[in-house]
């Protein structure tokens, strides 16, 4: 299992890897987890990486 701490998940729409440079916002979810909004260059849209 590969766990690269430099990435923050993949775009749920196109599966592109989201790198730290493309993160727009980090926030705390109600359950204490960290949520992210990031820009996907392929979709040209803001996504929530999975």
**Measured between alpha carbons, how far is 50 from 45 in angstroms, rounded to an integer?**
15
Of 24 and 43, CB closest to Zn ion: 43
Of 30 and 45, CB closest to Zn ion: 45
Of 13 and 35, CB closest to Zn ion: 13
Residue 16 binds Zn ion (CB under 5 A): yes
Applying CB under 5 A, among 13, 24, 25, 46 the residue interacting with Zn ion is 13
Number of residues that bind Zn ion (CB under 5 A): 7
Burial 4-40 (b: 16+ CB within 10 A, else e): eeeebeebeeeebebeeebeeeeeeeeeeeeebebeb
């Amino acid at each position: 299992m590969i766990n690269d701490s430099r990435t923050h998940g993949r775009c749920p729409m196109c599966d592109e890897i989201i790198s730290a440079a493309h993160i727009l916002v980090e926030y705390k979810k109600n359950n204490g987890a960290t949520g992210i909004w990031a820009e996907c260059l392929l979709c040209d849209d803001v996504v929530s990486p999975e």
